[in-house]
Amino acid sequence: MTPPPDNLSLQNIAVVLVEPQGPLNIGSVCRAMMNFGFSDLRLVNPTADHRAEEARWMAVKAGSLLDRARIFPDLAAALADCQLALGTTRRFGKYREEFFHPDEAARYLLPLTEKGRVALVFGREDKGLLTAELDLCQRFITIPTSDELPSMNLAQAVSLCLYETAKTLGELRGKSHGRKKLASGSVLEGMYSHMKRTLVDIEFLDAQNPEHILRSFRRILGRSGLNDREVRILHGMFRSIDWVNSERRKKLPGE
């Protein structure tokens, strides 16, 4: 069942800053969070005092978020109650296919907020997230910037991601009386399981490493934002393939 968009909630999205160094930035992040309706701020081993005068000055009327911010010793602890973590980075490495732009990330993560908590993870001002921290994230966000100066101000990067998420939520809600509601995270995961089983069975996906190609399908379908009817159509297609394959197997020698 498609969740009513009212069940999608920005309250279930945590903004996690790993070792932020500047109180101005932390205050500025709070202001952006309140601008776009977010409230769960988590600081991992901050090297700046988030309650300093400068932080409050930049937070303007969002000082309450500074007071309610939770502090964690490491990223794993900060993510303990999150079902999904999206890490922001400009380091592509071998996982290029798993990178979302902020708008794609928003379409991917919002349906998951119906059932649980999702984290947006931002690294240090100077060094971003370390490899060991990226390993704790399941998906990655990169903001497309110019080669001339690719590195963004931390608070601006947070602001862009929150803006895209709030904007996407607005689009989903705006269309809720129209035709399109996104399928929920569990409905999507059910479809991806079916897809994986079917495509391994017909030997299109390598049984040893099905995830590689499957990630491309997740990206394609994540970008398009499936509704319930479309998920049913995909299930139907995989059922037809399952049937053809079972007919083939019946006739194999020894089966």
* 11 near its own copies, rule: CB under 8 A: no
* Shortest Å, Cβ 249 to its own copies: 9
CB 74, min distance to its own copies, A: 28
Q: Which of 96, 127, 132, 197 binds its own copies (CB under 8 A)?
A: 96
Could you count the other beta carbons within 10 Å of the beta carbon of residue 60?
13
115: left (phi over 0), alpha (psi -120 to 50) or beta: alpha
Contact call for residue 60 and its own copies (CB under 8 A): yes
| Alpha carbon distance 196, 178 (integer Å) | 32
Among 26, 32, 79, 118, which residue sits at the site for its own copies (rule: CB under 8 A)?
A: 32
Q: Read off the DSSP letter of residue 87.
A: E
- Looking at the Cβ atoms of 77 and 213, the one nearer to its own copies is 213
Alpha carbon separation from 154 to 36, 64, 124, 146 (Å, rounded): 16, 20, 8, 16
- 63 DSSP 8-state letter: H
Regarding 207 and contact with its own copies (CB under 8 A), the answer is no
Coil, strand, or helix at residue 5? helix
Q: Considering only residues 166-195, where is the footprint of its own copies by CB under 8 A?
A: 166-167, 170, 177-179
| Coil vs helix vs strand at 145 | coil
3-state secondary structure at position 184:
coil
Residues that bind its own copies (CB under 8 A): 24, 28, 31-32, 34-37, 58, 60-62, 96, 101, 103-104, 143-146, 148-153, 155-156, 159-160, 163, 166-167, 170, 177-179, 199, 202-204, 213, 216-217, 219-226, 229-230, 233, 236-237, 240-241, 243-245, 247-248, 251
